[in-house]
Structures are given as structure tokens and as C-alpha cells.
Chain A
Amino acid sequence: MSEPSQRGSRGPQALIFESGSPGRSAFFWPEETGASGIPDALSREEIAGFPEMGELEVLRHFTRLSHLNFSIESQFYPLGSCTMKYNPKVNEVAARMPGFALLHPLIPPELIPGAFELLTELETMLAEIAGMDAVTLQPAAGAQGELTGLMLIRAFLAERGNPRKKILVPDTAHGTNPASSTLCGYDVVQIPSNKQGIIEPEAVERAMSEDVAALMITNPNTLGVFERHIQAIADAVHRRGGLVYLDGANLNALMGIAKPGHMGVDVLHINLHKTFSTPHGGGGPGAGPVGVKAHLKDYLPVPRIVKSGDRCELRDDFPKSVGRVRSFFGNFGILVRAYTYMISLGSDGLEDASRMAVLNANYVRKRLENTYFLPSPEPSMHECVFTDRNQQKDGVTTLDIAKRLLDYGFHPPTIYFPLVVSGALMIEPTETETRETLDAFADAMTAIAREAKEEPAVVKSAPHTTPVGRLDEARAARRPVLRWEPGGGD
């Protein structure tokens, strides 16, 4: 702690294990008398290496760490496909009410009617927005929702005699789609998108057979483009007895504009931490509810909440169910936040959110389309994808542009995804940003393009203003050091 750079709050910080003093603790609780009942043979000593600090010390450590982060409330965060919209404060107030935060999941259901009322209403609201017939709130995140949805498909087909072997996944899909397919025991067949970045019915038709269980499709897709042939694609899948799964990661483009349930979709998941404003938390918790059409309802995970009269019951007696996918009721605290958001905005507000998300993406696209290369001429919905093709002739890549954006005070877009576009920069502004912010971002992108021509070295060595410079990721992977140990080493 003696170097000047470490004393400032915005430079690298000591680890929590590297400060403190033996015997110090921020915890006070009177000693309890009596025996612990744990035999000596099963007992351990105090935990070696654990922190020994006071309360202010601990707070200061984590507050200083927080200063090293970009976040929605401090920076524009146009991370494509992640929908980094404003996370309303009232959601946090609601989730922390003792009547939600201090509920035990194994309490008899009749003692928590308010929780079940919220859950059933949330199921109904999500079903209405997505145009589906039933919803389960159990999955903890989008990927768990995908796996759940695929299990439903498998159970449905198995009951009809053959679970089938393959899942069709477009080359523009999120990596979770093929990973979830494998986890569900399926082989993945990749479907190529066309030059405009969308899927053509013929491509699906060619790949369809009696071996194909389902097609997973994202709409709008990861290029931010509406899959306008989706109905014909769904028909092609259904004709051969397959089902259609919609990855609802991009639902923020569609509320009040189009319902997936009207596009031939049989099952979908919804990321509440994207469209429904719950905070991303540096990588979760989120929630990934799954919506289905009536023919898949019997296969939904148990327990299900069933409304009888004005009471809600928790029921396990669904013999066709795929079983339980998560403990208890899923990420309830996240469900409370999403519910709060939905009743805050209501019908008109949710529709407005999608419309403004589309407006903002189109505005950014327009402001940048003469500077950066636009790989697909198709209209954009809630996000747009550029590439580094124009900058590459000066030796500047997408990674350089992303790092240089940090110096301008913006979180970069999602980069190098979707994989079908070389050097992708995927920009999703969301609806909660002002025109001025979008202009400032577009100005920064334009300035970086100019720098790429005039002084590429500045861009290629960026970032220059962050707490640390570009980090050696190869070294981290070659000799992994994944924990602190007393006296260093790994």
C-alpha cells in the first residue's frame, strides 16, 4: 500500500486478504453458552486466511472496488443483446419489503397468499405480452429457460413416440442455444442465414426431417433484424412434426408491436433482467420464465401454482411434467422487481418502451452508417450491428475501437458477436437514454473513426484512462491463478 497509485481510490486495490489485523472483526454477537454438540473429530479450527477487518475498512474496500466499474448509472452501456436499460429504484424498494424479502420458501402456502397472487399475476401478464397460454417462473436465467423449454419439447415428442435427435439453430444464435441443446441430449444442426442476415424458409425446409425436434430462433435476431419469414419457417417446422422455440432475449423490441405467440412459436423464454428492467448485478441474478402454447402446458415444471377460486395452491400432480428445474420458486426477488416494473408502466408504458427502443437504435444507426460498415441492409429493430471493415485498412480492429470507447467514457457495444459478422459491433441503446446521450456516443464513435485514420496508434494502444490497461488474457489462461493464497503463489 505504499505506492502512490494504490492510495488513490481509482487505481488497483489491495485484496481483502492483504489488509486487516489478526483478531479484528466487524461482527458483534454475545457468546452463547452450552455445548455445540459437534464432536471434536468433526470440528475445524478458525478458517485460515479469512479476512480480519473492521466495518469501515470493509466498506471502504468494496466502495473503492465499485469505483473501478462502469455501470448503467454512471455510463451509457449499449451492450447489444443485453438490454442495459435503466433499473428503476422503486423495484428495489419493493423487493426489500419484509413481506417479500423475509419469506421462507417452505412455509405452508396458505400463509403467503400475497406472494402467490403476485406470481400468478406475473404469469398472466407475461403470457399476455408474449401471446402464450401458460408460463412457468421457475428458471433462474435465460439459459435455464432454454433448457427447460427444450425439455418440454422433448417430453412432448417422446410422448408421441419419438423424442427425435436434432435441434436446428441459426448461425446467428446466442451460444447458449447450442449449449442448451446438447445438455438436453440433442445434436445441433446449424442453419445458415442469408446475405441479409435472416433465415429463409427454404434453408429450414432443406434441413427439416423426421429427426428434427425443434428449431430455436431469435426474433428480432442478433443482428437486430426482424425475421420476417418466421411464420413460413414455423409452418415448415410444424409440417414435419417439429416445434418452434423462440429465444426471447430480444423481446424488448416487440412489446405491443408483435406477439411471438402469433408467429407460430410453441415455446419461448423471456429474460426479465433484459426486457423487464431487473438489474444485471455484474452477471446476475436474472430470471428466465418460459411461456408455452396450450399443447405444452401439461409438461411444465412442478410445482405449479394453480388458482382455485381466490386461493392459490401449489400442486405437484402433473404426471407429464418434466420435473423440477430449480429449487423452490425460482429467483423470487427478481420476479418481484419485474412485476413492479410491469404495473408501473402498464400497457401503454410497456408499448412505449419498445417503440422508443426501436427509435433509439435506428437513430444511432443513422448517425453512424456513413462512418462504420453496416453488414446488413435490413431495417433495424432495437439494436444495430456495424463492423470494423472501414477501419481495418488503417489496422484498427473492433477490439481497438471498443477499448478506445472506454477513454471516451462509454461502455463498448457487444463485440465479435454475432459470429456470422466479422468484427461485429452490436449496439443496443435501449429506450431509457436521451437523444443527447445517443449523440454524444455517436460523436465519440465518429471521433474514433477519425483517429483510426489520423493517429491509429492512439486507438490501438487504448484504453489510456482506465484503472488498468489491456490485460494479458493469454497469461491468465496459460497458468491460471484463481485464488489468493498466503505468501503468494497459486
Chain B
Amino acid sequence: MRYTPHTAADKERMLRTIGASAFEDLIRHIPAALRQNAQIALPQGLTEVAVKRRMAALAGKNASAQDWSLFLGGGIYHHAIPSAVDAIISRAEFATSYTPYQPEVSQGTLQAMYEFQTLVCQLTGMEVANAGVYDGASAAAEAVLMARRIQDGRHRVLVSRALHPQYRQVIATFLRNLIDVELVEIPFSANGATDADALARALDDRAMCVVVGYPNFFGVVEELAPLRAACDRHGALLATVTTEPLSLALLKPPGAWGADIAVGEGQSLGVPMSLGGPGYGFFASQKKFVRSLPGRLVGETVDGEGRRGFVLTLSTREQHIRREKATSNICTSQSLCALASTVFMSLLGKSGMRRLAEVNARRAHRVRDRLVEEAGLAPAFSGPFFNEFVVNVDRLSERRSRFFAKRIVPGVELEKWYPEMRDALLVCVTEMNEEQEIEELVGTFAAR
């Protein structure tokens, strides 16, 4: 049988050693009423060749970025991934090991996680970072839960309406069962950024934290200074959520604006889109909050001979030690994706990250300007942006099929989450969108 290596002779010999005459003896203790009396109702197994054909057939039905021109962002981004990234994460030593509970034989994973934590700190400008959580949305929810632990006695969470709508949904799901927490949404203003005046009005001494996107769901780079000042007046924590961390190679990072917690989705840095998962959530904070962090942390130490080594540390925060008193229930996380980002950031390095971020920002601005000037589209917002922006498109839904016929998806339609923005399209441009695609995009919008 596939993947189970025993021969008939092996099985017989093993059963004899055990003292059983047949396999059935080993499961006879399961009450008969609970035993399955029919085979699993699934087809029989397939050869590897047939499996690959079946998978290729399913894959072939999908519009992938290989064959289509996608101008899609909104939390997941199509970027160039050096072949070296997949080569490293495909190594069995990384891919087929588990959570490094035995540090003496897991230094590869542990050191890479330590390097990852450092890279996240440098990128976000924060003091400490954990080894990652599930995704950007659960990172945002965990940030709120962390603020609740720090801000004992406060019970209001203020979330910008310009934060990714799915992230807001996940935060709401997490908070729904904690009866002492109230979720308040802060509107955005005409520039597409969180309305600082509305925030100031909503803030009071009951607020545990304020959560904003940086850049936000509309691609707009929030001005964090006034938000930080407003939080300070009432002792609220400021948590930023970044879905496109490549932007932080160009933008002043959350730490420089005084964010208390900086989280986000790491997919954009070396992980394929894969229909939105697996990626990973990155999670950083100021050092004074380190014991309130969720998830795994790797720390440096020494062995008996004084050699440097790395271990999982501060585990007394975690579920396998603290059980119902843990800071989070997370166990298996997204390590291999965090490793992919570690390799990606190492390959690009200081200058490459900067270059790639510049290419994105410049190309996106060029496309936005052409859509406005040549195709007559109206920008929805005036705020600064990185590689995605919102435009208003007349008769958006009618024009959709024209794009699909040319194998173009021009952006993410926003009405679903913002009913008042009926013609709004979130357009993302990365280094993967080539000149010819851009011509087609502009041309198709220009043809009325």
C-alpha cells in the first residue's frame, strides 16, 4: 500500500511479537456498536500519475496570475519570489520538522525564527516580535486581546472602518464571546484615512486600544501622529495593522510613530498568494509588553560549554504550560511561511527591499495618473498611497465582462463591504504587472 511499507511477512511477524493472531485483535476493545461496519465511502486510491492529472485538471480551471492580469490587492499581493526561497523552504529539514521542543536538534529552525523576529523588529521599527501567528486578521484580533490584558479594567476597542473588512469581522468574532468588551467603529474621511476628529470624540478613559490600518484597506497611508496624540490623551494603546509589509521598506515604520503594537499579514514578503493562505501574521510590540505577547518567542542563550544557542522562551505565557490561563490558545502556527519571508528579506536585503518598494510605489502612481488622465476615472481619495488606490468607475458592474474577456481583473470591487461606495474599485499595481498589461488596463477603461 502507498506510504505504508510493511510486507505481509512484516505484519505477520509483528503481530506474532505482539501476541495477536490478527490485526482485529488490536481493536477488539472498541465497543462493537462504535465500530465502523462499512468501508469509508470514498473512491479507491489513484496512481501518482492519475493524481497529478486530476490536480492539474482542477488547477487548470482557475484564473491564476500566470495567465491572467490581476490588479488585485486588498490584503494579498502578487510579488516576485526568488527561486531560492522555495528551494530553502522545500528542504525536508525545515519542512518536515515540528515545533522545536528539542532545541539541541532544532537549532536550524530556532535560529531562523530568531532572525525572523529581528527582521520583523527592524521592518516595523518595534522592539520585540514573536515567531508569528496564523494570519493578519488573527494577528489583529490577538492585538486587541493583548491590549485587554495590558489595559485591565478598560473595555472599549476603537477600530477604524478603513481597516480591512475581513479583519474587522475576525476581531468581532473573537470579541463576541467576551461580554465585557465593546467594539466601536471610527469612520474615515474624504482623504480615505481614519477620521481623526471622530476618533478624538470617541476616545475616553474606557478605551483600551485604537486599531488602524497602515496603509489601510484603501491603500491610504494613515497619518499616525495625530492618532498617537489622541490615544495619549486618554491612555489608550495604538495598534497598527499592515497588510502590505513591503510598504514598510519605504514608509516611516509604526515604531517610529510610537505604535504600541504593530501587526500584519506577512504573505507579501516571499509567500505565494495561494488563495489567501497559508501566509502568516507578524506580531511586534514595545518591549515593556513582552510578557503579554501571544504565540511563540525564541530567545538566545548558551549551552554548558558557553556556545550560543536558541530556545523557545517565556513559555509560561503559553497554553501547554498555563492551560486556561494562557495568553492565547495558539499552538501550531505558520513557521514555514515565516521562514520563507526570512529568506526573502535576506535575499533582497537592505537595498533590494528599498528598490522593490520604490518600483511598486512609482508604478502604482504612474498607473493611477494614467487612469485619471487617459481613462477619465476619478480618484476616490486624496490621501497618499503605496501600491494600491481606489478609483470610481461609472457602470462598474456592466464593464466587468469586457475586462474578463481580455483576461484582466482590474481590481477589487468595494461595494460589498462599503455599500455607499457603489462604483469604487481598489486597484493594486505591483512589479508583476508588466507594461503591456498596464496598457490594456488603461485602454479598456478608456474605451467607453
Closest 6 CB pairs of A and B: A99-B59, A328-B276, A27-B352, A281-B336, A105-B276, A114-B61
Residues of B131-148 whose CB lies within 8 A of A = 131, 134-138, 145
- With A26-B348, A34-B365, A112-B61: A411-B102 Cβ-Cβ less than 8 Å: yes
B301 and A87 form a contact (CB under 8 A): no
B48 and A128 form a contact (CB under 8 A): no
Q: How far is the CA of A488 from the CA of B324 in the complex (A)?
A: 37
Chain B interface: which of A235-243, A330-338, A390-398?
A330-338
Is B419 on the interface with A (CB-CB < 8 A)? no
Give the size category of B's interface with A. 35 or more
A480 and B314 form a contact (CB under 8 A): yes
Is B62 on the interface with A (CB-CB < 8 A)? yes
B33 and A432 form a contact (CB under 8 A): no
Residues of A within 8 A of B304 (CB): 469-470, 472
Is B431 on the interface with A (CB-CB < 8 A)? yes
Which of these, B62, B303, B334, contacts A100 with CB under 8 Å? B62
User: Number of A interface residues, CB 8 Å?
Assistant: 201
Residues of B within 8 A of A434 (CB): 5-6, 10
Residues of A314-333 whose CB lies within 8 A of B = 322-333
B172 and A323 form a contact (CB under 8 A): yes
Chain B interface: which of A142-150, A201-209, A443-451?
A142-150
Is B288 on the interface with A (CB-CB < 8 A)? no
Apart from A50-B349, A468-B103, what 15 extra A-B contacts exist at CB < 8 Å?
Answer: A15-B118, A29-B355, A36-B362, A38-B361, A84-B98, A95-B274, A141-B330, A277-B3, A284-B334, A327-B166, A328-B76, A343-B51, A347-B39, A360-B14, A477-B314
Residues of B within 8 A of A192 (CB): none
Pick from B118, B252, B322 the residue with the most CB of A within 10 Å. B118
A to B CB contacts below 8 Å, 19 in the list: A12-B309, A15-B115, A33-B362, A43-B251, A44-B250, A62-B343, A87-B96, A103-B63, A104-B78, A128-B41, A256-B36, A273-B332, A283-B109, A283-B335, A332-B274, A343-B46, A434-B10, A469-B304, A471-B303
Is A406 on the interface with B (CB-CB < 8 A)? yes
Residues of A contacting B: mostly: loop
Residues of A within 8 A of B196 (CB): none
Which of these, A68, A179, A332, A379, contacts B277 with CB under 8 Å? A332
Could you mark each residue 340-378 of chain B with 1 if its beta carbon is under 8 Å from any beta carbon of chain A, else 0? 001101111111111110110111111000000000000
A34 and B366 form a contact (CB under 8 A): yes
Measured between C-beta atoms, what is the minimum distance from B93 to chain A in Å? Answer: 4
- With A324-B173, A332-B275, A333-B274: A282-B94 Cβ-Cβ less than 8 Å: yes
Measured between C-beta atoms, what is the minimum distance from B318 to chain A in Å? Answer: 8
Is A295 on the interface with B (CB-CB < 8 A)? no
Which of these, B4, B20, B297, B329, contacts A147 with CB under 8 Å? B329
Pick from A44, A106, A117, A257 the residue with the most CB of B within 10 Å. A106
Residues of A19-45 whose CB lies within 8 A of B = 20, 23-27, 29, 31-39, 41-44
Q: How far is the CA of A187 from the CA of B324 in the complex (A)?
A: 8
- With A104-B275, A106-B74, A327-B277: A350-B166 Cβ-Cβ less than 8 Å: no
A471 and B365 form a contact (CB under 8 A): no
Is B23 on the interface with A (CB-CB < 8 A)? yes
Q: How far is the CA of A483 from the CA of B295 in the complex (A)?
A: 16
A343 and B54 form a contact (CB under 8 A): yes
Residues of B87-117 whose CB lies within 8 A of A = 87-109, 111-115, 117
Is B11 on the interface with A (CB-CB < 8 A)? yes
Which of these, B52, B93, B280, contacts A71 with CB under 8 Å? B93
Q: How far is the CA of A343 from the CA of B45 in the complex (A)?
A: 6
A484 and B166 form a contact (CB under 8 A): no
Is B13 on the interface with A (CB-CB < 8 A)? yes
B92 and A144 form a contact (CB under 8 A): no
Which of these, A23, A107, A328, A468, contacts B303 with CB under 8 Å? A468
Residues of B within 8 A of A58 (CB): 84, 343, 346-347
Which of these, A282, A349, A351, A484, contacts B109 with CB under 8 Å? A282
Which of these, A140, A367, A477, A485, contacts B135 with CB under 8 Å? A140
Is A353 on the interface with B (CB-CB < 8 A)? yes
Could you mark each residue 388-427 of chain A with 1 if its beta carbon is under 8 Å from any beta carbon of chain B, else 0? 0000000000000011001000011010010000000000
